Structure 1
Amino acid sequence: MSGATGGPGPALLGVRHHGPGSARAVRAALEQLRPDAVLIEGPPEADAIVHLAADEGMRPPVALLAHATDDPGRAAFWPLAAFSPEWTAIRWARSHGVPVRFIDLPAANSLALPGRIGGSEPGADEEPDAKAAPPVDPLAVLAATAGYDDPERWWEDAVEHRHSTLPADGALAPFQALAEAMGELRRAFGRAADDARDTAREAHMRLKLRAARREFGDAIAVVCGAWHVPALEEKRTVAADRQALKGLPKVKAELSWVPWTHRRLARHSGYGAGIDSPGWYGHLFQVPDRPVERWLTKVARLLREEDFPVSSAHVIEAVRLADTLAAVRGRPLAGLAETTDAVRAVMCDGSDVPLALVRDRLVVGHDLGEVPDSAPATPLQRDLTRLQRSLRLKPEALERDWDLDLRKDTDAARSRLLHRLRLLDVAWGEPVRGRGGLGTFRETWRLCWEPELSVRVAEAGVWGTTVPAAAEAKAESLAARATDLAGVTSLAERCLLAELPGALPTVLRALADRAALDTDVAHLATALPALVRSVRYGDVRRTDTTALADVAAGLAERVFVGLPAACAGLDTDAAEDMRGHLDAVHQAVALLAEAAPPGLRERWAGTLRRLAGRERLPGGIRGRAARLLLDDGLLPEEEAARLMGLALSTGTEPAEAAAWIEGFLGSGGSGGMLLVHDDRLLTLVDDWLTGVPAAAFTTVLPLLRRTFSAYDAGVRRTLGEVIRRGRPDTGRAGPGGEGARGFGPGLDEQRAAAALPTVRLLLGLDAGAGEGAGEGVTGAAAPALAGCGAASAGGVA
């Protein structure tokens, strides 16, 4: 057998990781060489599980996952796609009954070393060491030498588009040329690449290669990164290689197969390829011929599925344009750049919006691999897999929204699982605002499975062997370590959402202890809404929340007692924060009233009356308390007008009066509608505003602008129309006589006639009858047009 440079010895097949051209060349070389063993760059611990690559349930992209047994968060991945040369070599060897050995530095050593080693990837809290990467990008140097400014384009031209021109018996020629190029690069850049880690890795590869030659002879094929080929050809003594490995740190490591995604292949992780277009590379590897035509057909199919008007003529024209661009640019075949330009010009009408969809779905892709059930896994991972199957929640790399109805048993179980995983820091799903309303019996989750979640599951395995047991243990631990009331309150809510009755007593004890020690009313007010939400969720999920309701009621009583004193002496920012707490407590009391002891709402109303009538409190808080009482029907309109008159009297500072107005009206569209429909309040505001001295007006204006900007556009327009027609008189329903404010007193038939044909069409009447501005409005269309005419006359859009 010949080496990569043509000499005797093992065949050194230097490859580009995740390169489809390299994968095809490796397959051709193995067919020609028929080796007795295949050696692959990777952790030797994977020898015990490499046989699973031939399992029917294994579907790439997948990855070898290694993690430290005592610290699962320290993990490393070796990802493999269908077009990876290492995967091609493994599958060829397994199908031909040839042994496979991994020869890189063991994962036990690479996980113990800082930074990245080979295919390792730092944990979530670890930054990669820049020295772990070679000091030079070999592809970039070779591309620049050939006159290319884009390494990917050079690789396509030199490898991907010329594979069919190689002679059948010349499968080793590309590897020999690449080995020579790498040798020149290593000599040109000196020994800088051989830092301690690369030196250790290549020393271990040489030792494993010697051991394989003793076992199998020279009929061996070695598949490794092309950068390492010159190092494997070097003549080094066994003693020198062993010395390079002496003293390396070591940890106990576990290896398994995990699913990977194309999106993660597009990042600079794992084997370090960081390819930008895994979907395109997969296409080049899989199609037997006419790659450009087949690719553009895929693009057309995708765009048609998304309702873009793309026809067969578009595909034909795009193929012609791509081939023309390749000829103009001197390329042997149209590549990704040419096909992308053709798609933009022909199928997307020059727009990058549909082109972004093509890149996301096809150029990168959302493929998620699968591993067989027989693959090694932690007990927690196996329990999670079982739950995913029983609940029909298949992990997917593409983001997908799930609307859950908690009244259904299956959806409730799905919700419990997702909440338990979030408690374990396995963020498979994120809650999002749903489209189905605000009912507590509905939840919307956005699910997306990322490979890193396998590491998170391994980390969570320290808490238990099943998802419920692990979540309960984690919740109890968090309750014991919690130092603030808000944190324990949030934890109690999460325990109810995840339905963890075993952990709830521990959490409630911690909650009661923190609540008894915390005297800050703001903290208590912040914690109360979360507790009340927990009680409400317990009702929907059929969970007993009696103990939690008692704690929430006690917390509410402490807020009632301490709130008036806590509101005194606040500056502007603190008063605004307290006003937010006031709104939150008010909503919480309304939700808690059914489960709390009798009289809770009455005691809260008494607290609001004290706040509204105490002169020394900030104006925003007094105004908000008055508004909450008015909304609940607990404050007569006459009393509200009296409080407003006092707050806006001449003796009140303009800034304080403006703060009262903001507190009273600063609640979006509802505040504006109150002014639209209540003449007396509008008159009071108008009297105060017109009486503000000119010197103080510039101070008041920003506060008023902030208040009125919160109103809906339609409310502001209606309010402006009311003011434009003149200030209303108390007791009149509208400036024009009868009718609601903002609407005219009668029908303007001339203006309404313009809408007559459309209304007749909507009502299914004869569209041609009654046309013309001079005709009267009668029949079935009259009621509808009466509303339109009134709106037109009053100026309401």
Structure 2
Amino acid sequence: MGGLLPRLPRPGVVTAAAAADRVVVLGIRHHGPGSARSVLAALDELRPSIVLVEGPADAGPLLEWAHSDDMQPPVALFAHAVDRPGHAVFWPFAVFSPEWQAIRWAAEHAVPLRFCDLPAWSVLAGSGVRHVAADARPNASPAARVPDGGDAEGSGAGASGTSGPARRVPVGDAEASGAGASGPARPAERHRPDVSTGSAEASDPNIGAAPDEEIVVADDSRGDPIALLAGAAGYDDPERWWDDVVESRTGGLAAFDALTEAMAELRTVVPPDSPREAAREERREAHMRQAIRTALKDTDGVIAVVCGAWHAPALAGRLPPASADIATLRGLRRRKVALSWVPWTHSRLAGSSGYGAGVTSPGFYHHLFTAPDHPAERWLTAVAGALRGHDMPVSTAHVIEATRLADTLAGLRGRPSPGLLEVRDATLAVLCDADPVAAGFVTSELEVGELLGRVPDDAPAVPLAADLTVTARSLRLKIDPQEKIVDLDLRKPQDRAKSALLHRLLLLGIRWGTPTEPSRQSTGTFGETWSLRWDPELAVAVAEAAGWGSTVPTAAAAKVADTARTSTDLASLTQLCEQVLLADIAEVLPEVLQELDRRATHDTDVGHLLQAVPALVRAVRYGDVRGTATDGLGELARQLVARAIAGFPSAISGLGDTSAVTMRDRLDSWHAAVDLLVRTGRGEPERESWFRMLAEQLDRTDVHGLLAGRIARVLIDRGVVPADEAARRLAARLSVGPTASDKARWIEGFLSGTGLLLVHDRDLLRVLDGWLTALDPLDFLEVLPLLRRTFGEFAAAERENIGAVLADLDSEVRHDAGELPDIGRAAAALRTVALILGGGR
């Protein structure tokens, strides 16, 4: 075995009878407050000499930090492959998790504690199959899974199981601590899900399947096994049955014995999903039994085993021969892993989040565990406080009435006490006046919540994560799961340092912050606005980025240097220059500029030049804002402008509709960039040469109408072509051309973006109106979509002003033609309208 298993006893050393007498198995629902209370009551009654908890066996050294007062759930054990940090597994714990309460009980009573499930090195080594479980509630849809045949490296069972960017799927039981790498929950555990797992690729902040894996929905004709027990008890809702029978119980060993017996019956009638799943479960349970045998050797007292209820029948009673379990575990693959504690959140435990462990209302479960006396009354009081926070008039009388209604509903439904369904109904009916929007505040803020756990500073962590934590704390950036908008003034050193940190994290693929549109408080180019939100799975991105360096600045610089060497796109290189300056890692800028200069020398595509210059010019501007020397960037930008001037005339010949739209958009950003370059004190000669070149393209007939119209508009706006020329050029363009749609494209290019020119130039509007009204019906139908798209881009006030000017033009035409309104003919109609409006005759 080469040391793969910890201290395995020889077969026959521990008798089966000894195990049956000394081992007590406590089958629980992971993240169940009722199960947690029952575990505590059972441990107080048993006073075991050792406690075994379902969890990765090689995470034992991390248990000492679980005893720290600075460790505040929800937290998660985090394991990742050293050679591929994105290949990772999480084991979350909440304060109401039975496993967590068992860990705390062992620490408080100085009782030895061990994890007993397959170690993380086995989970992350994979078993050649990857599964993704569906929502772990009893009434959930069948499990979604990837067909067998994935590889152990990236898509094996050790890989995660959440989702790709297009679809997020909660993860149930797998190969670690009840939920190791990826497998779907065993039948009963779809109701009592094990802890979640996940993996991610470096380029994707979302935890998910590899792009080439197909997720399909399995046909689970068995249905939910827990529903069998609920149906036998006369319940039509398995979730409600579980809450009544398990979560609402007060504890006692008898309840665990009854649950183990029920699960044993279920295991005889509910087969595994596949032979591969059966083999995986056999390995897990074999490892747990071996851990029990080792504990039996090491102690003479009672051994308490806290595990998922589905596994309880396989661990309770007389143990089978050890030789069979050793054979089952022989040949386990191994992978070097690193383990640490990371903060977790309630929302990531919720099945509705798409990356949860099937706990639909972790905030309510937390309340049930921390407020066992009068939970309904205390909960509804908290609900009233949350609603008052949204300016809703909720009084003490409302709370009293809602409590009475919840008690009455529980009695009518035959429940021992009000549960989540009853307090929900009472909240909606009494506290929210049947307003589902108001009730939604309660769901998001209380039932789920965004409680973020905390990990001791001295706990093992990825070096990059430790540096990030220290840096964020020094900059007073709070790591918080709640979204927060932060305005930064780059003239202040503290804000500039915050900006640099967030940009460095973006370069590393750690999307803690997302740039947003500046708020009203921002100060022009000196201001930035960020949306900050910390998701627990960012720990995977941090672990992946740790391969670039042990601190955020060094890791970002190394990642940039590698990206510059491997990039094949001129525009992406110029954007990288911009990002380097934003991240304040100017030491790597010479290397990026060298690669950019080399690439620009060989790239003759004018479209690439047009696309590359804006980012380069923004980098020059950002350098000015931050005080960074950017002379090299400015000179390179001028060179690219000169090359674009030489190649532009041939690049715009014979373009199709799609290419013309792309070129038009690039021209718009290009002109803004060139203007910005001039404002920085560079590029004035190049801008004049550019506009002279554009003027030479005005009368060309081989240029797409969209581009020709845009060129004419740019030259008029810049004063290169006199404004009084606009109407004449429009009239000339509309008088020639093969089709009406070609003319409409020229109009779209000329007018798109703003309609102020039509408001202020009546001659231009008169020419356009005359052409449009003179079209025959078929041509009108052909150009209408193009014109509607063009005018649809105008602001509402601009369209209103254009309509007013058109009305004035129409009045002028009628007056010139002698077509004055006949007041006498209109008098009868006016009298009728006056009567209708109550104005008399």
1:150 and 2:237 correspond: yes
| Gap change, CA 1:207 and 1:136, over 3 Å in 2 | farther
For the pair 1:683 / 2:766, whether they are aligned, the reply is yes
In the alignment, is the contact (CA less than 8 A) between 2:740 and 2:779 conserved in 1? yes
**Alignment CA distance shift 1:161-1:208 (3 Å):** closer
TM-score, normalised to structure 1's length? 0.86
Say if 2:717 is the partner of 1:631.
Answer: yes
Contact kept in structure 2, 1:464 and 1:473, CA below 8 Å:
yes
Q: Does 1:696 align with 2:779?
A: yes
Contact kept? 1:77, 1:270, Cα under 8 Å: no
- 2:435 aligned with 1:351: yes
Residue correspondence of structure 1 range 661-740 to structure 2 within 5 A: 661-668=747-754, 671=755, 673-727=756-810
Residue 422 (structure 1) aligned with residue 506 (structure 2):
yes
1:377 aligns with 2:458: no
Q: Which ranges of structure 1 fall in alignment gaps of 5 or more residues?
A: 733-772, 774-797
Q: Does 1:26 align with 2:102?
A: no
1:363-374 alignment, distance < 5 Å: 363-374=447-458
CA distance, structure 2, for counterparts of residue 181 and residue 195 of structure 1 = 20
Spell out, residue by residue over 1:627-675, the C-alpha distance to the aligned partner (whole angstroms, 9 max, x if none). 112222332123223322211225664222222221111113xx2x221
Relative to structure 1, the CA distance from residue 491 to residue 715 in structure 2 (aligned partners, 3 Å threshold; closer, same or farther) is same
CA distance in structure 2 between the partners assigned to 1:597 and 1:697 by the alignment: 44
Letter in 2 for 1:468: P
Q: Is the 8 A contact 1:20 1:85 kept in 2?
A: yes
What is the Cα deviation at residue 45 of structure 1?
Answer: 1.5
1:317 aligns with one of 401, 406, 427: 401
How many Å separate the matches in 1 of 2:17 and 2:264? 12
Shift of 1:439: 2.3
Residue 499 (1) aligns with residue 584 (2): yes
Q: Residue type matched to 2:784 in 1?
A: L
Shift of 1:41: 0.7
Cα distance per residue 1:292-337 (max 9 Å; x no partner): 1110111110111121222212212211222222222222211111
Q: What is the CA distance between 1:96 and its match in structure 2?
A: 0.9
Structure 2 unaligned regions, length at least 5:
1-15, 127-155, 158-173, 181-196, 202-207, 210-214, 816-838
Of the three residues 180, 183, 189, the one matched with 2:270 is 189
The DSSP-based 3-state class of the residue aligned with 1:42 is strand
1:564 aligns with 2:653: no
Give the 3 Å change call, closer, same or farther, for CA 648–657 of structure 1 in structure 2.
same
Per-residue CA distance 1:449-477 (angstroms, 9 max, x = gap): 11211121111111111100000000111
TM-score, length of structure 2 as denominator length: 0.82
1:613 paired with 2:694, answer no
1:333 counterpart letter in structure 2:
S
Match for residue 261 of structure 2?
A: 180
Describe the shift of the 1:77–1:295 C-alpha distance in structure 2 as closer, same or farther (beyond 3 A).
same
Cα distance in 1 for partners of 2:575, 2:358 equals 40
The partner residue of 1:547 within 629, 632, 640 is 632
* Residues 737, 743 of structure 2: 8 Å contact kept: no
Q: Is the 8 A contact 2:348 2:355 kept in 1?
A: no
Aligned ranges 1:293-308 → 2 under 5 Å = 293-308=377-392
> Which residue of 66, 91, 96 maps to 2:109?
96
The worse-fitting range, judged by mean Cα deviation, of 422-431 and 655-664 is 655-664
Q: Provide the residue aligned with 2:153 in structure 1.
A: none
Q: CA deviation at 1:205?
A: 0.8
Partner of 1:84: 97
* CA distance in 2: counterparts of 1:613 and 1:559, whole angstroms: 20
CA RMSD of aligned residues (A): 2.6
Partner of 2:51: 38
Q: Which moved more, 1:421-430 or 1:648-657?
A: 648-657
Which segment drifts farther, 569-578 or 238-247?
569-578
Decide whether aligned partners of structure 1 residues 222 and 657 sit closer, same or farther in structure 2, where only a CA change above 3 A counts: same
SS at match of 2:86: coil
Query: Aligned-pair distance for 1:280?
Result: 0.5
In structure 2, the CA distance between the partners of 1:474 and 1:117, relative to structure 1 (3 Å rule), is: same
Structure 1 window deviating more from structure 2 (310-319 vs 365-374): it is: 310-319
Map 1:78-477; keep pairs closer than 5 Å: 78-113=91-126, 114-115=156-157, 116-118=174-176, 119-120=179-180, 121-124=197-200, 127=209, 137-163=224-250, 171-190=252-271, 195-233=278-316, 235-267=319-351, 273-436=357-520, 439-477=524-562
Number of aligned pairs? Answer: 720
Partner amino acid for 1:12? V
CA contact (8 A) 1:35 1:219 kept: yes
Distance 1:598 1:548 in 2: 16
| Aligned-pair CA distance for 1:152 | 2.3
Q: Cα distance, 1:28 vs. partner?
A: 0.6
One-letter amino acid of the structure 2 residue matched with residue 726 of structure 1: L
Q: How big is the shift at 1:148?
A: 2.5
Higher relative contact order (CA 8 A, sep 6+): 2
One-letter amino acid of the structure 2 residue matched with residue 421 of structure 1: L
Equivalent position of 2:828 in the other structure: none
**One-letter code aligned to 2:713:** R
Quote how far apart the aligned CAs of 1:550 are.
Answer: 1.4
Q: Is the 8 A contact 2:573 2:596 kept in 1?
A: yes
Q: Secondary structure at the match of 2:339?
A: strand
**Aligned position for 2:150:** none
> Secondary structure at 1:350's aligned position in 2?
coil
Q: Verify: 1:75 aligned to 2:85, yes or no.
A: no
Deviates more, 1:521-530 or 1:465-474: 521-530
Kindly indicate whether the alpha-carbon contact (under 8 Å) linking 1:15 and 1:224 is maintained by their aligned counterparts in 2: yes
1:616 partner letter:
D
Tell me the alpha carbon deviations over residues 566-611 of structure 1, each in whole angstroms, 9 at most, x when there is no partner.
1111122222222112211111110011342441221122122123
CA apart distance, 1:58: 0.4
Find the counterpart in structure 2 of residue 755 from structure 1. Answer: none
Offset, 1:537: 1.4
Q: Secondary structure of the residue that 1:375 maps to in structure 2?
A: coil
Return the alpha-carbon distance in structure 2 between the equivalents of residues 611 and 531 of structure 1: 26
- Using the TM superposition, give the Cα deviation of residue 162 of structure 1 relative to its aligned residue in structure 2, in angstroms: 3.4
Within the alignment, does 1:55 sit opposite 2:68 as a pair?
Answer: yes
Whole-Å Cα distance in 2 between the matches of residues 573 and 76 of structure 1?
Answer: 45
| Rg comparison, structure with higher value | 1
- What per-residue deviation string (whole Å, max 9, x for no partner) do you get for residues 400-451 of structure 1? 1111121211111111111111111111111122322682222121111112
Q: Greater shift after overlay, 537-546 or 243-252?
A: 537-546
How far did 1:186 drift? 0.9
Alpha-carbon shift at residue 5 of structure 1 (Å)? 14
d(CA) in 2 for partners of 1:491 and 1:239?
59
Return the offset for 1:136.
7.2
Q: Which residue of 2 aligns with 1:751?
A: none
* Distance (Å, rounded) in 1 between the aligned partners of 2:18 and 2:298: 23
Residues 179 and 695 of structure 1, relative CA distance in 2, 3 Å threshold: closer
Corresponding position of 2:618: 533
Query: CA–CA distance in 1 between the matches of 2:563 and 2:510?
Result: 16
Q: Take 1:211 and 1:5, find their aligned partners in 2: how far apart are those partners?
A: 13
Distance of aligned partners of 1:67 and 1:102 in 2 relative to their CA distance in 1, 3 Å threshold: same
* Structure-1 residue corresponding to 2:30: 17
CA 1:5–1:405 in 2, change beyond 3 Å: closer, same or farther? Answer: farther
Tell me the distance in 2 between the aligned counterparts of 1:543 and 1:134: 65
